[in-house]
Amino acid sequence: MKTQGNSIYLNQINSLRKRLFLINNHTVLPFAPMSRWFCILILACATAAHAAPQGTNSDDMDRLLADKGLFTRLEDVSHKVADKAQNVAGRAGDLVVNAMGFLGVPYKRGGNSAETGFDCSGFVRAIYEQTVGLMLPRRADQQAAATQVIDKKELQPGDLVFFNTMRRNFSHVGIYVGDGKFIHSPRSGSEIRVEDMGIAYWARRFNGARRVTPAEGVESAQAPQTQR
């Protein structure tokens, strides 16, 4: 009987996890590190499930959790997570659209603006600052160190792609736009353009993919700068 009770308990917890992460029938959100509220809700659900009689069926468990208000809290958290995911996706689209608006701007070593021209990292930094209000570090290698490592197959529009073009890792950076292509400011004498990552030159020099998230090393552009 104890084993059967534990099985019911585990089934209920798994069901609750699915309620939180399966939204709008087919929208599955990425499994990021669990938030503090999610952990609290799971712990509360676990306590409720453990306190229930071993013979409790699924309907009784649902009523028990509903009485404690846990379903309502899970629904609220689910909506908040869904809204955040949709906001991130929308901003990624804005990043690509904004970046495309700079096609044809000339390369300039150390450049930070459309008026003077951009180098690769200056272009990426300006796009993120203007579009989502995040201030990336200035150099390409610093941008790689300050952002989240992802696998190449996980690339989404707005992510960063890095290349070894100067016989050192992360010496060049661009913004992934989808369909295996990226936008970047290549080199002196050239202009901002879209290129295919699959061509031999870029495929051989690909260094890694990164995702920009507000974290250590990535600051809000509106936040006051701390003197060090």
Instruction: Just list the catalytic residues.
Output: 120, 172, 184
Return the structure tokens found at 95: 């990043």
Return the structure tokens found at 57: 């069926």
Cα 9 to Cα 3, 19, 20, 94, 134: the distances in Å are 10, 15, 17, 44, 43
Distance CA 179, CA 34 (A): 31
Residues 6+ apart with CB under 8 A from 66: 72
Sheet holding 181-184, edge to edge: 148-150, 206-211, 160-163, 172-178, 181-184, 193-196
192: helix, strand or coil? coil
